[in-house]
């Protein structure tokens, strides 16, 4: 007695449209609704469906419904909905064309009958014509689903060859899905049910009908597809029996393929049974066997030892040259294997990619991983070079592998790159993080080295200048030095009434106490000519040759501190270095060039590498900006703020610290331009960042860097303006002679001192004459009076103009305009303060007017419109001093006219300036009477 069969689960019914309720199914005699009956039909075998269709016409319509058979064809994946839609549209087009032709023919026939039978009786209804029209209409409905030359009857299968291709011959025609399924069922159902009932692999009829392995594999593949439409009870057991029989066939074919592989019968058994297995189920087990049997997976030591890259040729060295030999040998093996694959497998099957995937897992990874682990333990630089070097070599290796006949070159290359990417996926996260940390450490080390260099240089300089100072001796000599200073003769104090101007004291080695120590141009040397070893670093950094005369350290603390301060002021331009910035940029370039290689592999790894390249650039700006440039600018501003023109020897026409700071601004501008070029060429051009993405980290950090640089430059220029104006005031105080604006003071000083000068001529004869050279000459004294601006005004304009020109081209135009405007306003205030310190006579007013015109001319060259009214008011103000004392009323009118000065000066301020006239105390009463009515008496 056979064992009791277990109840098999029901296969889910195919998805189809709900059955249309039939007329009469909802009457009182119906037992089940149409939907339930349609669901029952889904689980009936095909033979039972045809039997059940004989119950009634209505049930037959439910069984023969086209959607039911379309669902079965879709389960076997042989129904093409797109083809069915195209056939339907083509049938509708032919139907419309046939209807139009028929209508035209009828109209033509009707017109002929009307012409021929005019006056005769006509037939109203013809039964034969109506019958013919009905047959044509039915034929048109059939044409909706059939093309030209198609028959409605199922085509019989004439021989076994057609049965092997029955699945490929199925047509997708709406309305005839049942007929198409009938062809498949008639061909495959007997073989299918016979095979699932067989007890051994020799019993099935299919193996008796087809003796060739290729045909057997083709028929078994069709039976496997046909089993998908088996939804009747017991389908699971039948499917399992079919699968077991196919496994028996597959194992036999695999043994034959393996035998051919071992005998190297490439074009014989290997090729034949590879095609058999691929026809059977795609050839997955065949491909797997082919990949696993290759000797390269078990003899990878012959390709190369990964440890040869280390300590060869000397201990501690690292080279990837041995790795090149590994890649070349592996490429040769794969080229041979690619030729074998092309000969064995059909073009529709890709075998090279699975083979490369296994080689990458078992060969390439086993070679790459030991190298990276060993390099990471030894040195970080070696590790970074090893990762990127091996990745670059692997990409070059991928270019050498021939794509074969199974895929296009472009698609094959992309697949190989993805395989290589999976090899490095285990290392990419660690590498990217180490690359970023390594770049940051190198940035910080370079900046710290520079800061240490500057600190050592400052310490060596201070040590040198303080080396000859004996503090105990200074304490003992303090009292005597103080007495010498207090008891010094008064005659050494410069006076404005001296006949000769005191020349400026020039710095010299012998007079250290009187002047600050000059700045070093080279390492100081002792009197014997030997260079002080403490300042050797200064010589190496400056690169300038030593002067011929040796420099001796100062012997007093005051002179030493002055020399140190002067050295710091001159060293402003060394507070940050263009060379350091260039080194940092090169470091960033090296790191980005290495990390950029990972972007070529694409995918998530490529995106992470791109983000890491941006992070390296951001780290560069964070170190170069706040750590180096900002710190240097802050120190420069501090040194510049300590500048005192009264404590520095003036040997040039410019303010040396300010000139140096402006050079520092130029260096900062060069660094910014260098960063812009680096950003464009390394990040934007290589598509590592998007300059238009305003939330991009690299873009945001670059804008922050530029903003920081602009703010530091603005802060330095603000202090620079203070220093520049302090220098201008110092020039006013030291170079402006008393006689420039009051020539008559010389005669007064001569009479008071009892000099041997001639007696002053009468006031009526004190008129100026014009010399042959065109200059105005005063007869009141032997001093020749010139008409042009004074030397003080020329020097002020030269210094101010020279410093403002230094910023042209190195800063933004808006910053330059703001700087020039601020300089002009501060210069205006300094000139006003200077005028208030002078005594100006009528004769000296001409020189004052010339000075004001000189300042005005310079201001117009700046092309800053808001400054023009200020210096125009100065020109008008200088006219007050030219008015003769006898015209006090006109002087009062000028002083009391606020519109004359454009609102720059108030009446009270003009009155204060008028008080600086040399004869003010003689005209004051008359001017006040004219202005305020003081002295009037009411009669």
Interval 506-542: pLDDT, tens:
333 333 333 333 333 344 443 344 444 433 433 444 3
Cβ atoms of residues 855 and 871 within 8 Å:
yes
Residues with Cβ within 8 Å of 837's Cβ and at least 6 positions away in sequence, in order, are 732
Q: Tell me the pLDDT of the chain averaged across its residues.
A: 77
Helix 656-678 to helix 697-735 angle, to the nearest 10 degrees?
160
- Positions of the chain with pLDDT lower than 70, given as ranges: 1-31, 117-159, 406, 462, 465-574, 646-654, 656, 746-786, 810, 934-939
Q: Which of 648, 647, 457, 464 has the alpha carbon at shortest distance from 554? A: 464
- CA–CA dist 374, 380 (Å, integer): 10
Identify the pLDDT of residue 465: 62
Interval 119-171: pLDDT, tens:
444 444 444 544 544 443 333 333 333 333 434 344 444 467 788 888 888 88
Q: What are phi and psi of 768, to 5 degrees?
A: -90, 145
Provide the 3-class DSSP secondary structure of residue 531.
Answer: strand
Which ranges of 408-542 does DSSP label H, i.e. alpha helix?
409-465, 471-486, 536-542
Cβ atoms of residues 214 and 276 within 8 Å:
yes
- CA–CA dist 756, 174 (Å, integer): 138
End-to-end CA distance of the chain: 162
Helix (H) or strand (E) holding 311: none
Residues with Cβ within 8 Å of 870's Cβ and at least 6 positions away in sequence, in order, are 824, 825, 828, 859, 904
- CA–CA dist 42, 21 (Å, integer): 16
Which ranges of 837-887 does DSSP label H, i.e. alpha helix?
845-862, 868-878
Helix (H) or strand (E) holding 765: none
pTM above 0.75, yes or no: no
Residues with Cβ within 8 Å of 740's Cβ and at least 6 positions away in sequence, in order, are 790, 792, 844, 847
Q: Which of 717, 730, 577, 702 has the alpha carbon at shortest distance from 644? A: 730
Helix (H) or strand (E) holding 776: strand 776-778
């Amino acid at each position: 007695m056979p064992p009791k069969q277990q109840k098999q689960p029901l296969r889910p019914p195919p998805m189809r449209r709900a059955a249309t309720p039939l007329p009469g199914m909802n009457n009182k005699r119906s037992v089940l609704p149409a939907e339930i009956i349609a669901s029952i039909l889904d689980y009936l075998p095909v033979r039972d469906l045809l039997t059940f269709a004989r119950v009634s016409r209505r049930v037959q319509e439910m069984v023969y419904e086209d959607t039911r058979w379309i669902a079965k064809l879709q389960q076997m994946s042989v129904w093409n909905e797109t083809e069915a839609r195209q056939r339907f549209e083509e049938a509708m087009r032919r139907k419309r064309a046939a209807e139009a032709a028929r209508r035209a023919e009828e109209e033509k026939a009707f017109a002929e009958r009307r012409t021929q039978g005019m006056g005769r009786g006509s037939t109203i209804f013809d039964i034969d014509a109506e019958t013919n029209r009905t047959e044509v209409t039915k034929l048109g409905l059939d044409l909706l689903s059939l093309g030209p030359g198609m028959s409605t009857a199922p085509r019989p299968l004439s021989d076994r060859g057609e049965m092997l291709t029955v699945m490929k011959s199925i047509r997708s025609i709406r309305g005839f899905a049942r007929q198409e399924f009938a062809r498949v069922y008639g061909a495959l159902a007997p073989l299918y049910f016979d095979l699932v009932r067989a007890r051994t692999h020799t019993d099935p009829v299919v193996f008796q009908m087809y003796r060739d392995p290729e045909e057997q594999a083709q028929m078994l593949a069709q039976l496997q597809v046909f089993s998908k439409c088996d939804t009747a009870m017991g389908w699971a057991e039948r499917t399992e029996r079919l699968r077991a029989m196919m496994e028996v066939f597959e194992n036999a074919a695999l043994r034959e393929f393996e035998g051919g592989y071992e005998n190297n019968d490439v074009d014989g058994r290997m090729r034949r049974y590879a095609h058999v297995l691929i026809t059977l189920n795609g050839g997955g087990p065949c491909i797997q066997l082919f990949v696993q049997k290759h000797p390269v997976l078990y003899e990878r030591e012959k390709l190369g030892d990964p440890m040869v890259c280390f300590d060869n040729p000397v201990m501690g060295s690292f080279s990837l040259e041995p790795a090149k030999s590994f890649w070349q040998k592996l490429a040769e093996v794969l080229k041979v294997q690619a030729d074998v694959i092309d000969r064995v497998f059909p073009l529709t099957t890709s075998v090279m990619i699975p083979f490369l995937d296994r080689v990458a897992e078992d060969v390439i990874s086993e070679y790459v991983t030991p190298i990276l682990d060993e390099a990471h333990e030894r040195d970080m630089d070696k590790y970074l070079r090893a990762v990127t070097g091996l990745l670059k070599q692997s990409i070059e290796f991928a270019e050498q592998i021939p794509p074969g006949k199974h895929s296009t070159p472009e698609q094959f290359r992309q697949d190989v790159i993805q395989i290589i990417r999976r090899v490095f996926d285990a290392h990419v996260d660690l590498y990217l993080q180490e690359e970023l940390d390594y770049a940051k450490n190198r940035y910080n080390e370079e900046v710290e080295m520079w800061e240490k260099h500057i600190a050592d240089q400052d310490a060596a300089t201070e040590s040198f200048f303080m080396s000859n100072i004996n503090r105990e001796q200074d304490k003992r000599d303090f009292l005597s030095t103080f007495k010498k200073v207090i008891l010094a003769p008064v005659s050494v104090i410069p006076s404005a009434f001296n006949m000769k101007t005191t020349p400026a004291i020039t710095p010299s080695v012998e007079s250290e106490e009187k002047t600050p120590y000059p700045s070093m141009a080279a390492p100081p040397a002792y009197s014997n000519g030997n260079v002080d070893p403490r300042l050797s670093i200064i010589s190496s950094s400056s690169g300038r040759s030593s002067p011929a005369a040796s420099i001796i350290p100062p012997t007093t603390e005051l002179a030493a501190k002055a020399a140190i301060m002067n050295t710091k002021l001159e060293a402003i331009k060394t507070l940050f270095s263009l060379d350091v910035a260039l080194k940092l940029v090169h470091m960033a370039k090296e790191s980005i060039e290495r990390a950029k290689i990972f972007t070529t592999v694409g995918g998530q790894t490529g995106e992470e590498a791109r983000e890491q390249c941006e992070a390296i650039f951001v780290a560069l700006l964070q170190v170069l900006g706040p750590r180096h440039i900002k710190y240097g600018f802050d120190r420069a501003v501090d040194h510049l703020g300590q500048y005192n023109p009264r404590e520095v020897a003036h040997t040039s026409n410019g303010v040396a610290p300010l000139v140096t700071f402006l050079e520092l601004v130029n260096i900062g501008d060069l660094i910014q331009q260098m960063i812009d070029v680096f950003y464009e060429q390394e990040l934007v051009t290589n598509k590592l960042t998007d300059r238009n993405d305003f939330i991009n980290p690299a873009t945001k950090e670059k804008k922050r860097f530029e903003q920081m640089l602009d703010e530091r430059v603005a802060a330095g220029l603000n202090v620079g303006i203070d220093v520049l104006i302090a220098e201008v005031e110092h020039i006013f105080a030291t170079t402006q002679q008393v006689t420039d604006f009051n020539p008559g003071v010389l005669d007064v000083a001569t009479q008071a001192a009892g000099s041997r000068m001639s007696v002053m001529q009468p006031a009526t004869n004190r008129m100026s004459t014009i010399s042959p050279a065109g200059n105005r000459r005063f007869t009141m004294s032997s001093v020749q009076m010139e008409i042009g601006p004074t030397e003080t005004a020329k020097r002020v304009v030269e210094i101010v103009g020279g410093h403002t020109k230094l910023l042209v081209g190195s800063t933004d135009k808006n910053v330059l305009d703001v700087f020039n405007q601020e300089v002009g306003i501060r210069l205006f205030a300094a000139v006003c303060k200077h005028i208030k310190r002078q005594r100006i006579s009528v004769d000296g007013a001409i020189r004052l007017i010339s000075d004001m015109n000189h300042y005005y001319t310079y201001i117009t060259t700046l092309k800053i419109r808001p400054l023009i009214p200020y210096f125009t008011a100065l020109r008008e103000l200088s006219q007050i001093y030219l008015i003769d004392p006898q015209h006090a009323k006109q002087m009062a009118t000028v002083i009391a006219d606020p519109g004359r000065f454009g609102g720059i000066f108030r009446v009270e301020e003009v009155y204060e300036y008028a008080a600086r006239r040399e004869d003010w105390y003689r005209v004051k009463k008359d001017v006040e009477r004219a202005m305020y009515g003081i002295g009037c008496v009411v009669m």
